[in-house]
Amino acid sequence: SFGWTRYNTLAEIEAWLDEILAKYSDVTEEFIVGTSYEGRTIRGIKISYKTGNPGVFIESNIHAREWITSATATWFINELLSSEDELVRQLAESHDWYIVPVLNVDGFVYTHEKDRLWRKTRQPVSTSSCIGTDPNRNYDVHWMENGGASKDPCAEDYGGPNPLSEPEIKAMSEYIKSVKDKVNVLLAFHSYSQLLLSPYGHTDEEFPDNYDDLLQVAKAYADAVEALPYGSVFRYGSAASVLYTASGATNDYAYQQGIKIAYTVEMRDRGTFGFVLPPAFIIPNAEETLIGIIALLAECKKLG
């Protein structure tokens, strides 16, 4: 049954989500992002305790094999709804939360049933026998620029035949657009490497107008996490300068749409287990993510 001592299947996550929506129906509502290539519904949960709160968007498991992200997102939802800790109550009730625990539903099912290390979507490519596009290269934002995605359909970072060729990403880009005026912060959950990556992904020769703020807010996250007994170290900076050129990613799209605080959060670990992080690390990883997000949003508030 569902829990955080092991990784759950999509069916288990969805059944749990149904329970949560029923149990906390006064403060939650489901939203539907859209439908995947294989016909699955991509579901999200909105948590709102009062009107007029700033919105925070969390996208998780866009990369199929990054299981720690949906384990953490579901734990986080549970904390927002049931924690009795004063800091967490404050966090939960002073923001509107839009959380998509598993965006790449087809890929996620494939990692459970066929290939644990699958990353991409599952839509075939007409010009190739290789399957799938890297969904985090498929947004219509500097798509395919500067070698930030591969043109080879067999590559793990294939950008797709066109921007928004993947139904999951078309739907997500429209959903983000529909809520962008209510959302101040977007976090895209990934693993692994322990990094907070801001725009831009498509170039390291230019930086966002608010780059100083983006560094300051990321530092708050990193400092808070590092101060915990776990001592996990996070580095931060623009994706292209800290990691590599990667165009067409969610947080760059969010930034382009006016959500000016937008990060890729690369969770544990730093390569010992990589994508196949043992379940014993789910709770420690989730706890430090929660502490990081509390610090991040407190720092945003200081910016005004």
Note whether 249 binds ligand 0X9 by CB under 6 A.
yes
Name residue 97's beta-bridge partners: 47, 56
Convert residues 53-92 into a mask of x (bound to Zn ion by CB under 5 A) and - (unbound): ----------x-----------------------------
Handedness of CA 116, 119, 121, 123 (dihedral sign): negative
- Return d(Cα 86, Cα 152) in angstroms, integer: 50
Which residues in the 58-97 window bind ligand 0X9 by CB under 6 A?
63, 66
The one catalytic residue in 266, 287, 288, 299 is 266
Alpha helices in the chain (DSSP H): 10-23, 67-82, 86-93, 105-113, 167-179, 211-226, 239-242, 250-256, 282-303
Note whether 239 binds ligand 0X9 by CB under 6 A.
yes
Q: How far is CA 31 from CA 18, 58, 172, 189, 222, in A?
A: 12, 13, 12, 19, 31
- Return d(Cα 132, Cα 168) in angstroms, integer: 12
Q: Residues binding ligand 0X9: what is the number (CB under 6 A)? A: 14
**Which residue from 65, 190, 260, 268 is in contact with ligand 0X9, where contact means CB under 6 A?**
190
142 binds, among Zn ion, ligand 0X9, none (CB under 5 to 8 A by kind): Zn ion
Residue 125 falls in which region: left (phi positive, over 0), alpha (psi -120 to 50) or beta: beta
Closer CB to Zn ion, 163 or 292, in the complex: 163
**Which residue from 8, 70, 72, 136 is in contact with ligand 0X9, where contact means CB under 6 A?**
136
Catalytic residue at 266?
Answer: yes
Task: Return the range that interacts with ligand 0X9 (CB under 6 A); candidates 75-83, 158-166, 227-235, 245-253.
Answer: 245-253
Least Å distance between CB 83 and ligand 0X9? 28
Name residue 31's beta-bridge partners: 44
Q: Cite the active site residues.
A: 266
Q: Name the residues that contact ligand 0X9, by CB under 6 A.
A: 63, 66, 136, 190, 197, 201, 239, 243, 246, 249, 251-252, 264, 266
